[in-house]
Amino acid sequence: MLDLAQTKTPDVVQIRSAALDGISAKLVQVEATVYGDGAGIDVIGLPDTAIRESRMRVARAARRFGVFDSKKTLINLAPATLRKEGTALDLAMAVAYVAANTNRPLRFAQNFIIAGEISLSGRATGLIATLPTAILAKQVAAKGLIIPNAVVHEAAIVDGLPIFGVEDIGEALMVLSGQRTQPTQMGRTPKPAAHPVSGVDLAAVKGQELAKRALTIAAVGGHNILMVGPPGSGKTMLARALPGILPPLGLEHALESAAVHAALGMPRNKQLFLAPFRAPHHTASRQALVGGGVHPRPGEVSLAHRGVLFLDELPEFGRDVLEVLRQPLEDQQVTISRSRGFRTFPADFMLIAAMNPCPCGYFGDSKGRCTCSLVAVKRYRARISGPLLDRFDIHLPVRRVDPKELLSLKLGASTKRLARAVQRAQDLAMKRSDKDPHVSNSRLNSKTLERYCDLSAQRREMLAEKMEQLDFSGRAFVRILRVARSIADLEGNTLVSDAHLLEAMQFRGLDREVM
């Protein structure tokens, strides 16, 4: 009978690493042990193809340290229930493999989290999802994060985290064995600029004063806006200018947005506090727009989280593609379900869309250039369903600019000036919300709206008359109140006036088919 008490258990090297799960990093324990003669590395613990391929990189890189596949080595990735993908575990596996085959003591292995890809020479080359890994290291109170030198700057925005940049496996071994104690850098979250700079200054946009005001109102309340106008009227330029007038993101929101981008290998360090702007082409699939895949990944609506999603040529998107937007627009998140489980990704964004008024683009043109029949116009607009159209708070007609205005030397309000106005309006809204968690005006419920809009009996009667006259729906009524509240905030008024309500009604043109 085997005496288990006298049976020697092989030494097991244990190192903490991380694997991406959705848009967040999860702790992975990398264990390595030599368990027999022969050559090769066996990896268990639900690895994907990329991790199984890493065995060859690890074995080749380890030759620099006198390990020549003389022993059979088992590497376990725990927990086994978490699927591991990509190359982030390369560096940890290589260090564990070398330590197990050379009996090198790693006294501080459990103090650190180590992650990164390696080359055949053992050089640490990079890391996708650096920010989620750094956030995890801070959450589990690790003494430091060991990552390739090339991505240290991406982790440096996590405040107070000691970051050890390494050039190769040897430097990582030095940190874990205690031979190196000084971090490359201490994480420090940068302070936001007063007004982050975006690509387009509204001062350069000639004319279009109504459009600029509508964009400013939308920025105040986080309202979705649909622009309708002929080709060349400036719809795309106006949309691209919108992030510049939005206030800089707060730290919490900035890290939320950056984590989504980092999960896809798209660091936002240089634009950390600028609201993201995404503009997918109209050929984008449903999966590209909302996310998906066998192992779900975030899509454009999540990349636009805390920012702007711009859909140009809206009717050219597939109808089934547009319809999947309805759920994230209501819930501010998107859930992707698969047979193996589900993932929920954040999707709190402003939707800005642009379209031509008809197939040829010139319906309503003063020079009569439109060649479309009324049937063709209606069929074209019917590509956008009523439920989706209802989710736009502002319907904005964008007219062609008069040549005299285009040639004028007079500049309009600059992006910085409008950004300051938006900031003042949002500060007023924050003050009004008092101790309640602040939500944008576009998300205020009916009960809160009535309190903030002061709907007296006389005003209710006036609104009822206007709604019946203009044939507005109940949903349109709520959106009118929300926009009116933003207009009042923009003008610095604590009360919503009749003028604010009437202006908000003017932005519901598609409800009345007058655009």
pLDDT tens digits along 117-159:
999 999 999 999 999 999 999 999 999 999 999 999 999 999 9
The pLDDT mean for the chain works out to 88
pTM above 0.75, yes or no: yes
Percent of the chain with pLDDT over 90: 58
- Find out whether 229 and 92 touch, Cβ atoms under 8 Å: no
Confidence of residue 5 (pLDDT cuts 50, 70, 90): very low
Average pLDDT over residues 458-471: 78
- Assign 1 a pLDDT band (cuts: 50, 70, 90): very low
What is the CATH number that goes with domain 202-432?
A: 3.40.50.300
Q: In this predicted structure, what is the pLDDT of residue 7?
A: 38
* Residue 476 confidence class, pLDDT cut points 50, 70, 90: confident
Q: What is the DSSP letter of 382?
A: T
Whole-angstrom distance between the N-terminal and C-terminal Cα of the chain?
Answer: 89
| Both structure tokens of 241 | 């200018």
Residue 511 per-residue DSSP state? G
Confidence of residue 477 (pLDDT cuts 50, 70, 90): confident
Cβ-based neighbours of 155, under 8 Å, separated by 6 or more: 130, 131, 133, 134, 145, 147, 161, 163, 187
**Is 80 exceeded by the pLDDT of residue 504?**
yes
pLDDT at 251 over 80: yes
Mean pLDDT (whole number) for 296-317: 95
On the question of pLDDT at 437 being above 70, the answer is no
- Mean pLDDT computed over 433-456: 74
Pick from 190-199, 239-248, 471-480 the range whose average pLDDT is largest. 239-248
pLDDT at 130: 96
State the average pLDDT over residues 149-175.
96
User: Which helix or strand (DSSP H or E) is residue 20 part of?
Assistant: strand 13-21
The 10s digit of each residue's pLDDT in 368-393 is 788 899 999 999 998 998 889 888 99
Which region among 5-14, 232-241, 355-364 has the lowest average model confidence (pLDDT)? 5-14
For 226-238, what is each residue's pLDDT tens digit? 999 999 888 999 9
Q: Do domains 10-186 and 202-432 have the same CATH topology?
A: no
Cα 447-334-140 angle, rounded to 5 deg? 100
pLDDT of residue 195: 58
Predicted confidence at residue 10, as pLDDT, reads 55
Buried/exposed code over 255-279 (b: 16+ C-beta within 10 A; e: otherwise): bbbbbbbbbbeebbbebbbbbbbbe
pLDDT of residue 198: 61
For residues 262-276, average pLDDT: 89
Q: Which residue has the higher pLDDT, 197 or 408?
A: 408
Mean pLDDT of 2-24: 73
In terms of Cβ atoms closer than 10 Å to its own Cβ (0-12, 13-18, 19+), residue 27 is middle
User: What residue spans of 120-234 are helical by DSSP H?
Assistant: 130-139, 152-155, 169-177, 209-221
Instruction: Please report, rounded to a whole number, the percentage of residues in the chain having pLDDT higher than 70.
Output: 94
**Average pLDDT for 27-41:** 89
| Nearby residues of 457 by Cβ (< 8 Å), 6 or more positions away | none
- pLDDT over 60 at 456, yes or no: yes
- pLDDT higher than 60, residue 435: no
Inter-CA distances, 330 with 32, 291, 349, 365, Å: 47, 17, 11, 35
Q: Which of 145-154, 195-204, 250-259, 277-286 has the lowest mean pLDDT?
A: 195-204
Residue 284 carries which side chain, given as an amino acid letter? A
Whether 208 shows a pLDDT value over 90: the answer reads no
Confidence of residue 194 (pLDDT cuts 50, 70, 90): low
Better-scored residue on pLDDT, 303 or 436: 303
Phi/psi class of residue 231: alpha, beta or left (left: φ > 0; alpha: ψ in -120 to 50)? beta
Average pLDDT for residues 173-181, to the nearest whole number? 95
Of residues 368, 400, 392, 409, the one with CA closest to residue 510: 392
What is the fold, at CATH topology level, of the domain defined by 10-186? Ribosomal Protein S5; domain 2 (3.30.230)
What pLDDT was estimated at residue 77?
97
What residues does each domain of the chain span? Answer: 10-186, 202-432
